Amino acid sequence: MMNLFRMFFVVAIGLTWCFSVDAGIYEFSSGKKSIKMGEVAHDDFYKKQELSSETKKLLQHFTKFVEDFKKHPYDKSCGLTQAEFLRQKRNGLFMALSGPLEDIKSVEDSVVKNEADGNEITVRLYRDADEPTDDLIIFIHGGGWTQGNLETHDYLCRKLAKIIQKDVLAVDYRLAPENPHPCALNDVINVYKKFAKSDYERLMLCGDSGGAHLCSVACIRIYEEKLKRPYATMLFYPALGNDFNSRSFQSFGSCLALTKAGTIAYTNNLAGGNCQASENISNKYIFPVLQEDMAAFPKEIIVSSGYDVLFDGQLEHVKNMIESGRCEDVDWFICPGVAHGFMTYGKYYDELVTQVCKEIKVCLKADK
């Protein structure tokens, strides 16, 4: 079995961006062996990745799910809309892949009202201390803006609260296709505004996949509206780019953890139509890699799956941050051979998820 830590890299970006020179990239398995940034962007990274044993097991699980789905497709007689049926099926998959739940001191649900339209947003506060912590992590779940909820991401939120030792607030925002952009973003902003007025010293935004995308576009809105800025974002394999024909889409587009077709379908749901139509493909709130003023983004901790169609969007965003002079504000963790979604798939990746959370804690502690 390939040791997960043999594939786990910390990318602490240097003072200049150049693929041909050394940057602060370290492999944990061999005393933080330094490699070149060019190795990450080289064609071999896309063509010769060795899948971890955990990823192989995950993909076998997805294969069985797809086979079962073909045997039991959507039928109107089930009493659900097609969107509801698909959401139920996929949320069931999330739950089946979840990991062991950390025992923490308190978990409490409450409601935040969206002042613009009256929508009531359920939020869940995770706390592993007797008193509120100084900082609050606002967590936005993934699921292609179409699925996922407080339960599917309970494993990850507990893990974050337990290891990082900060309060975590999970947000159950409205989902597409019933509620396309900007509904989810508006819900996130409303929750953020409420807690920006709280006693927490620092707010941080954290999310996975589509949720990480919402963290990124929320930062743009927060910056434009001149609200209290988040101290940091923690983005797990975020959806950032708008090039569906990039190298990562070409190389990993058939990976069942997140296919090219699935990515386009999910983004269509978010956009409320064809995401590649001119009015959408140029919209920075749908594709935040288009944001030109990089001052909108706070300190970033980005965690990438190497075997992921979304990788190139993350690569482009990091490049944009560095070229704008923000290199010291980016920590990039790359896991080659690991599939999209791994932070919620504790059934197979619990050891790696734990290690990622510990490294995030180190990054945040270093700033104190």
Q: What is the pLDDT of residues 129-172, one digit of tens each?
A: 999 999 999 999 999 999 999 999 999 999 999 999 999 999 99
CATH of the domain at 125: 3.40.50.1820
Q: What is the pLDDT of residues 210-236, one digit of tens each?
A: 999 999 999 999 999 999 999 999 999
253 secondary structure, DSSP code:
T
Q: What is the pLDDT of residues 234-284, one digit of tens each?
A: 999 999 999 999 999 999 999 999 999 999 999 999 999 999 999 999 999
321 against 294, higher pLDDT: 294
Rounded to 10 deg, the angle between the 346-366 and 154-164 helix axes is 40
313 against 331, higher pLDDT: 313
pLDDT for res 101 = 98
Q: What is the pLDDT of residues 90-112, one digit of tens each?
A: 999 999 999 999 999 999 999 99
pLDDT for res 36 = 57
pLDDT band at 8, cuts 50/70/90? low
Residue 222 to residue 284: CA distance in whole angstroms: 14
- 87-103 residues labelled b (16+ CB within 10 A) or e (exposed): beebbebbeebbbeebe
In a domain? residue 328: yes
Residue 64 has pLDDT above 80, yes or no: yes
Residue 158 to residue 215: CA distance in whole angstroms: 19
pLDDT for res 23 = 32
Residue 7 has pLDDT above 80, yes or no: no
pLDDT band at 21, cuts 50/70/90? very low
As a whole number, the mean pLDDT across the chain is: 90
In a domain? residue 34: no
In a domain? residue 152: yes
Q: What is the pLDDT of residues 25-62, one digit of tens each?
A: 444 333 334 455 566 667 888 988 889 999 999 999 99
In a domain? residue 173: yes
In a domain? residue 259: yes
pLDDT for res 37 = 57
The pTM of this model reads 0.93
Q: What is the pLDDT of residues 192-217, one digit of tens each?
A: 999 999 999 999 999 999 999 999 99
pLDDT for res 39 = 65
Both tokens assigned to 143: 């699921």
pLDDT for res 40 = 67
Backbone angles phi, psi at 320, to 5 degrees: -60, -40
SS (H, E, C) 312-361: HHHHHHHHHHHHCCCHHHEEEEEEEEEECCHHHCHHHHHHHHHHHHHHHH
What's the mean pLDDT in 16-24? 34
Q: Which domain holds residue 272?
A: 50-72+85-366
Three-class SS state of 22: strand
In a domain? residue 353: yes
Residue 72 to residue 12: CA distance in whole angstroms: 46
Residue 2 has pLDDT above 60, yes or no: no
Number of domains, the chain: 1
